[in-house]
Amino acid sequence: MRISVIGTGYVGSVTAACFAEAGHDVVGLDADPAKVKTLSAGETPLFEPGLKDLLALGLREKRLRFTTDYSDAVRSSDIVFLAVDTPSREDGSADLSRITAAAESVARCAEGRKLVVVKSTVPVGTTRSLGEKMRAAGAPDISVAFNPEFLKEGSAVGDFQRPDRIVIGTDEDRVFEVLRKLYDPFVRTGAPILRMGIESAELTKYASNAFLATRISFMNEIARLCEKVGADVEAVRRGMACDSRIGSKFLFAGIGFGGSCFPKDLRALAASGRSAGIRMRIAEAALAVNEEQKLWLLPRIRKELGGSLQGRTVAVWGLAFKPRTDDLREAPAVSIIRALLEDGAVVRAFDPVAGANARRLFGSSVEICDSQYEAARGADALILATEWAEFRSPDLDRLATVMRGKLILDGRNVLDPSEVRGHGFMYVGVGRP
């Protein structure tokens, strides 16, 4: 099939590369000429394992190219995917200005019958509204569908190629059959292709992310209670996870979630509820708990370092909101570092891939180091903020040599408390005695 993908951010670039790898002719469009130039050279403006190799393959086989020209992208395609960012407004609602502008640009260039598939996360009713706008803009033969993405940063390529499910929101049999055929090669292991109404598909995306985020915030509240009553949240988690009705995923306590999806989607879901006259209390609570949890360890570090952080050196291991990505959006580490700086601390930090982004974000206010042990050199305290694999089994003897203090705050509960304490450190975990 001939496909165009409007927007080459995280979702769009993965979508374009994976469809091209599956044998389709794909054009990726972005309004940013610098991004198009980077992608056309086979480079990625973001870190996502496996994506660079897929880009190189698609470009080499001439099944993938990038452009800034809507006319070129739209007229050469049968299916147009909209993968444009829908950021949060100040009130939490989704800003649809970019995707609306993209849809209208598609309509102005469309000739004959076109299928426009919305992949961006949008509030209920948006896909139909975009269809009406495109038809009013002079494209009467446009059909629309909603096809949410369920990609996890750090494993997005695998998620696209081996999905848990494909959701297609459409009222038209023809549209469903086109998209079913497009996705059939990705579900040969038996993952279902679910057809539903457009509104149901739009809400499925929000509901899925909100539920996963709520599980995280729930466990973080349980962790707070554990600290007060002397329980161990890790033991509680294991006891819960053995229940088949609950399961083990997204039950780990820590310093909160971040990224481009969970916070934004929770806010948008709450805003959609307000618009419909329904207060989404659980979504609001999950957000509130998460924002508090990001700074959970600040009172502990102040207490253990004598009440003041002025002039103290704090090392931070991990900056991205999760491992295997360089994404700093709403990362707990960013909130922590800003609070440390406000308290007068000197911050030295390391992340395996997000260092360049962190340097742009913090400038000279934070020393971004080239290794985890360099970051820890001379530190009075160490905060483990992102659970990268290389942080799970540190050389504690070496760490004891390079650090000035003995305080380790494990914001992800990935270290062995007894082993850490056995090397003379004070260990503080989340919800652990």
Question: Which residues are known catalytic residues?
Answer: 261
**With contact defined as beta carbons under 8 Å apart, do 188 and 396 qualify?**
no
Q: Element (H or E) spanning 220, and its range? A: helix 198-229
Give backbone dihedrals phi and psi of 120, rounded to 5 degrees, phi first: -60, 150
Separation between Cα atoms, residue 272 and residue 277, nearest integer Å: 9
Paired tokens of 337: 């570092």
For β-strands 426-429 and 346-350, DSSP reports them as unpaired
Separation between Cα atoms, residue 20 and residue 182, nearest integer Å: 12
Length of the chain: 433
| CA distances to 90, 206, 295 from 288, in Å | 16, 17, 12
Separation between Cα atoms, residue 99 and residue 174, nearest integer Å: 24
| CA distances to 77, 128, 140, 283 from 131, in Å | 18, 5, 9, 29
| Contacts (Cβ under 8 Å, ≥6 apart) of 149 | 11, 15, 83, 119, 121, 160, 205
| Closest by Cα among 180, 197, 177, 208 to 125 | 197
Side-chain half-sphere CA neighbours of 220 within 13 A: 26
Q: What is the DSSP letter of 257?
A: -
Rg of the chain taking only CA atoms, in angstroms:
23
**With contact defined as beta carbons under 8 Å apart, do 316 and 348 qualify?**
yes
